[in-house]
Amino acid sequence: MSGSKIRVGIVGGSGYTGGELLRILLGHPHVEVTQITSETNSGKFVHIIHPNLRKRTELKFISMTQLEECDVLFLALPHGSAMGKIDKFAQLAPRIIDLSADFRLRDPTDYPKWYEHEHPNKEWLSKFVYGIPELHREQIRESNYVTGAGCSATAVALGLMPLFKHGLVDTNIIVAETKIGSSAAGNKPSLSGHHPERSGVSRIYQATGHRHSAEIIQELSFGAKPNIHLTVTSVEAVRGILATCHVFLKENLQEKDIWKVYRQAYGSEPFIRIVKTKEGIYRYPQPKILSGSNYCDIGFEKDENSNALVVISAIDNLVKGAAGNCVQAMNLMFGWDETLSLEFTGLHPA
């Protein structure tokens, strides 16, 4: 039935990123999802948990112990769950794409520093590629082990990379504010996510010391390690991240110069759009219109009276910030068109 399709397994398929993986992969011309696990929902149809997939698939969840060999294994487990079991997963599939933070950081000392524990499989860290195609396309093509990226990290790193790569900004002071939707906190009920408490909030999620800082520092270290001050704020939305980054230019560049830098970096990227217009009400990136899409929209505005530059980027945290980005990476790993099954544009209005 699968013809020449590759067989894909999803481990940890009842969460929001697992559900998005499944949604995207079900539409992929070269993929057959052959197995998907959930310990608590084992035996149930996936559409009981992911109701949008009703009538699209008759898959049922299985337990992790029932996993069989396949061509690619996507790991969508809670952070900390995959790092100790990676050898077992590697026996099941020649290629692994992990969506958690377990293999994102290259420097093993970053785990005790940011995650308060040693990494149990340090030797695996160097096998994984940080899987944002716009940052590491060639490495991803040649790798069998790819890690997804943190959603806030993706928005900030993609927004700032061209400036840092060219050494245009002061690396000593970067203030990054991300506004995130509720799906970023996962699907486990809690008081902080209970609708009467969560609805309509602008709530500090983390003022200082957010773990995604480690990824951002890692990815923006072109020479010096930058000082990132990242604050994450929960806002009323289910999906979406808006990152606003305040950086300070070393030289007095004009906006047209900055345009050139971004166009050069991203002009041929299929999933990055530079959004900076004078007309209409969508003059800068807005996550609202990105739900379900794999785009990362990026814009910027220079302060007329100083060397401050505000860089704005927006993504769907579950797509470009998680599942979509990982499917894009898979497409690269198999030499397919990078955009396969990621064609959905997002809705307007939404």
Judged by CB, which is closer to a second copy: 118, or 236?
A: 236
Task: Indicate left, alpha or beta for 272 from its phi (over 0: left) and psi (-120 to 50: alpha).
Answer: beta
Q: Binders of a second copy among 181-200, rule CB under 8 A? A: 181-183, 187-200
Is 242 among the residues that bind a second copy (CB under 8 A)? yes
Backbone φ, ψ for residue 131 (5° rounding): -85, 35
Q: Residues 229, 259, 260, 336: which binds a second copy (CB under 8 A)?
A: 229
Residue 326 annotated as catalytic: no
Residue pointed to by tokens 């990494």: 119
If one asks whether residue 36 binds a second copy (CB under 8 A), the answer comes out as no
Is residue 248 within 8 Å of residue 157, measured between CB atoms? no
Question: How far is Cα 46 from Cα 60, in angstroms, rounded to an integer?
Answer: 5
Question: For the chain, first and last CA: distance in Å?
Answer: 37
Nearer to a second copy among residue 93 and residue 217 (C-beta): 217
Using N-to-C axis directions, what is the helix angle for 151-165 and 133-141, rounded to 10°? 90
Q: Does 224 bind a second copy (CB under 8 A)?
A: no
> Does 302 interact with a second copy (rule: CB under 8 A)?
yes
Q: Does 43 help bind a second copy (rule: CB under 8 A)?
A: no
* 279 lies in the binding site for a second copy (CB under 8 A): yes
Does position 294 bind a second copy by CB under 8 A? Answer: no
The verdict on 275 binding a second copy (CB under 8 A) reads yes
* Pick 71 or 177: Cβ nearer a second copy: 177
User: Which member of 169, 288, 317, 338 binds a second copy (CB under 8 A)?
Assistant: 288
Per rule CB under 8 A, count of chain residues that contact a second copy: 93
Cα angle at 319 between 60 and 288, to 5 degrees? 120
Of 118 and 197, which has the nearer Cβ to a second copy?
197
2, 39, 44, 109: which one binds a second copy (CB under 8 A): 44
Tell me which DSSP letter residue 144 carries: S
324 annotated as belonging to a binding site for a ligand: no
Alpha helices in 269-322 (DSSP H): none
Pick 148 or 299: Cβ nearer a second copy: 299
Among 68, 165, 238, 339, binds a second copy (CB under 8 A): 238
Our finding on whether 48 is near a second copy (CB under 8 A) is yes
CB of 68 to a second copy, least distance (A): 26
Which letter does DSSP use for residue 329 in this model?
H
Closest to 317 in 3D by CA, of 343, 344, 299, 295 = 295
Q: Tell me which of 1, 116, 304, 335 binds a second copy, using CB under 8 A.
A: 304
Q: Which is nearer to a second copy, 224 or 350 (CB)?
A: 350
Q: Is 14 annotated as a binding residue?
A: yes
Q: If you search the block for the tokens 């696990």, which residue do you land on?
A: 37
Residue 70 binds to a second copy (criterion: CB under 8 A): no
Structure tokens at 331: 């497409």
Query: Of the residues 151, 245, 296, 326, which is catalytic?
Result: 151
Q: Which of 64, 90, 92, 175 binds a second copy (CB under 8 A)?
A: 175
- Choose, by CB under 8 A, the member of 49, 156, 169, 220 that binds a second copy: 49
Measuring CA to CA, how many Å separate 264 from each of 159, 223, 254, 258?
Answer: 14, 21, 16, 10
Distance CA 345, CA 350 (A): 12
According to the annotation, is 16 in a ligand binding site?
Answer: yes
12 binds a second copy (CB under 8 A): no
DSSP 226: P
What are the strands of the beta sheet with 241-248, ordered from one edge?
A: 202-206, 228-235, 174-180, 241-248, 308-315, 296-302, 272-274
What is the dihedral angle through the alpha carbons of 126, 128, 131, 134, rounded to the nearest 10 degrees?
40
| Residues with a known catalytic role | 151
Binding-site annotation: residue ranges for NADP(+)? 14-17, 317
